[in-house]
């Protein structure tokens, strides 16, 4: 038996003015068939789980396409069309396949396809026909849609946020595919869409209320006849009709069982909706807390969350720390212009810099000051531990580390999310030497930084990833929807 593998992943922030082109996929990951196995089988990613799981089941894995870009703005039509054409060509050139394992993200949006994942997954279904089993994994930050539901026989979302179980979910999907092809099970799926949005700061699966709800999901997974159950937390920064939380249950040949359990879980989630609303300190409150708390303190810059598509050059927390006189703080900024300036000055040199704040006016003005260029680097490093996203190889481009105003500022030439502590350690920075470490994220950096930071504080910073979604101008979301319309009625 042969099973094809397709991965196309992008978390799209539609509130960002800049767009995602094919070059962003080429920059991050764009692999065709033969190149996939040697690279992806080593990654701590669900596609690595696909390859390993199929090998264990003695099924031949046929790599077709692996494409991923870092979260950013709307995908250009030309980029999605080019990727879909590559998928079509790969399917046409492939040997006869018995099934397909798909790895969408679930929150991709394009100019001409607001539900970009549903768009390409439906195209795959149209090409292979209704009989071939299609089993997907997906990020729980996906906005699970009816189109995605119709395209596949089953979906399995990651269970952790930060996402540290991607390999396990890939193995689970491969095992379900093997059982399906052998006739041992017949997956049937039901989805439920309560009209609610879960605040991004309440989506950590190791904290209440997600922790308790995750245990409830485990109870359903353990029921006789249930093959899987998935909670989609939802991605608030994609202004599309599908945006919001959802439940998916997969049963063995019993659609009524799947529907009954999906509805029960959705009703329970809806009943807890008030617990999933935003609770964050202001910038001033967080900076004061950080000065008094046991250090190192990780300040999570929610509004400039790189993993949510933000520019990564926000200066609001940086400026607040400077104004408060914090002398032991670390901040990483995406600022290729300043990184080039630092390289021109050279290590040990001093110059006047205008740091960050170059993408837009939402994330703070540039920080002006004189800084010493402490060191220069090529920006390449590796993460060996299981961390959010399963990424092992990082390249943040030309990198400069500056000292000044009591601050340590890392400048990168490529947007790089703070998913790895090696972003500090590899470049000679010791976390324990800082009172404050700013990580531009909300939940994802916790896997990397919690082992060294005694205190974690999410901060209500403005920006395209603000936790206060009332500050964002939605034009396409469902209405009514909680918490935008607090009195929203719903009965599944």
Rounded Cα distance between 280 and 443, Å, is 13
Q: What is the pLDDT of residue 58?
A: 98
Residue 176: pLDDT above 80?
yes
Question: End-to-end distance of the chain based on CA atoms, in angstroms?
Answer: 40
Give the mean pLDDT of the chain: 96
Residue 397: pLDDT above 80?
yes
Contact 206, 277 (CB under 8 A): no
Q: How would you label 228-241 residue by residue, b for 16+ Cβ within 10 Å and e otherwise? A: bbbbbbbbbbbbbe
pLDDT more than 90, % of the chain? 93
Q: What is the pLDDT of residue 239?
A: 97
Residue 61: pLDDT above 80?
yes
CA torsion angle for 103, 106, 108, 112 (degrees, to 10)? 100
State the pLDDT confidence band at 39, using cuts at 50, 70 and 90. Answer: confident
3-state secondary structure 208-244: CCHHHHHHHHHHHHCCCCEEEEEEECCCCCCCCCCCC
Among 195-209, 279-293, 383-397, 430-444, the least confident range: 383-397
State the pLDDT confidence band at 62, using cuts at 50, 70 and 90. Answer: very high
Rounded Cα distance between 208 and 204, Å, is 8
What secondary structure does DSSP assign to 173-214, as a single string? Answer: HHHHHHHHHTTS--EEEEEE--SB---GGG--TTSTTHHHHH
In whole angstroms, how far apart are CA 432 and each of 329, 429, 452? 11, 9, 7
Q: What is the pLDDT of residue 386?
A: 79
In whole angstroms, how far apart are CA 419 and each of 25, 298, 336, 434, 446? 19, 13, 20, 18, 8
Strand partners for 8: 67, 104
CA torsion angle for 5, 11, 14, 19 (degrees, to 10)? -70
Average pLDDT over residues 298-313: 96
Contact 202, 120 (CB under 8 A): no
Q: For 126-141, what is each residue's pLDDT tens digit?
A: 999 999 999 999 999 9
Among 149-163, 215-229, 355-369, the least confident range: 355-369
Q: What is the pLDDT of residue 456?
A: 97
Residue 324: pLDDT above 90?
yes
Give me the residue spans of the domains in the chain: 2-276, 283-467
Strand pairing category for 399-404 and 226-232:
unpaired
């Amino acid at each position: 038996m042969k099973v094809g593998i397709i991965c196309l992943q992008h978390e799209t922030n539609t509130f960002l003015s800049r767009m995602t082109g094919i070059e962003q996929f080429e920059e991050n990951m764009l692999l065709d068939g033969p190149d996939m196995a040697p690279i992806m089988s080593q990654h701590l990613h669900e596609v690595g789980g696909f390859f390993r799981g199929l090998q264990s089941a003695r099924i031949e894995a046929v790599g077709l396409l692996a494409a991923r870009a870092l979260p950013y703005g709307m995908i250009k039509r030309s980029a999605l069309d080019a990727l879909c054409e590559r998928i079509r060509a790969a399917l046409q050139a492939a040997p006869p396949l018995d099934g397909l394992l798909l790895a969408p993200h679930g929150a991709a949006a394009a100019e001409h396809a607001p539900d970009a994942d549903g768009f390409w997954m439906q195209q795959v279904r149209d090409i292979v026909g209704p009989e071939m089993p299609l089993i997907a994994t997906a990020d729980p930050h996906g906005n699970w849609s009816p189109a995605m539901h119709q395209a596949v026989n089953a979906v399995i979302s990651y269970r952790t946020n930060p996402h540290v179980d991607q390999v396990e979910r890939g193995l689970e999907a491969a095992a379900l595919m093997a059982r399906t092809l052998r006739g041992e099970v017949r997956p049937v799926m039901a989805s439920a869409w309560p009209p609610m949005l879960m605040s991004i700061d309440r989506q950590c699966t190791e904290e209440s209320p997600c922790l308790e709800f995750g245990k409830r999901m485990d109870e359903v997974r353990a029921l006789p006849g249930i093959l899987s159950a998935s909670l989609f937390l939802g991605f608030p920064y994609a202004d599309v009709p599908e945006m919001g939380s959802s439940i998916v249950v997969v049963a063995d040949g019993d659609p009524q069982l799947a529907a009954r359990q999906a509805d029960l879980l959705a009703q329970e989630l809806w009943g807890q909706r008030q617990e999933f609303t935003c609770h964050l300190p202001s910038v001033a409150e967080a900076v004061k807390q950080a000065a008094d708390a046991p250090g190192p303190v990780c300040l999570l810059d929610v509004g400039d969350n790189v993993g949510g598509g933000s520019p990564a050059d926000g200066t609001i927390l940086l400026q607040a720390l400077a104004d408060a006189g914090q002398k032991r703080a670390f901040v990483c900024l995406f600022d290729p212009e300043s990184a080039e300036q630092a390289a021109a000055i050279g290590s040990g040199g001093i110059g006047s810099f205008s740091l960050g704040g170059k993408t837009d006016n939402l994330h703070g003005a540039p920080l002006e000051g004189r800084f010493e260029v402490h060191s220069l680097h090529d920006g390449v490093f590796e993460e060996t531990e299981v961390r959010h996203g399963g990424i092992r190889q990082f390249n943040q481009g030309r990198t400069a580390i500056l000292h000044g105003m009591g601050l340590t500022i890392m400048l990168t030439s490529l947007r790089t999310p703070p998913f790895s502590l090696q972003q500090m350690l590899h470049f000679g920075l010791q976390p324990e030497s800082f009172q404050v470490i700013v990580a531009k994220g909300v939940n994802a950096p916790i896997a990397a930084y919690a082992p060294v930071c005694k205190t974690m504080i999410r901060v209500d910073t403005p920006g395209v990833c603000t936790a206060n979604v009332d500050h964002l101008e939605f034009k396409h979301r469902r209405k009514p929807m909680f918490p935008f319309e607090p009195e929203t009625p719903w009965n599944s």
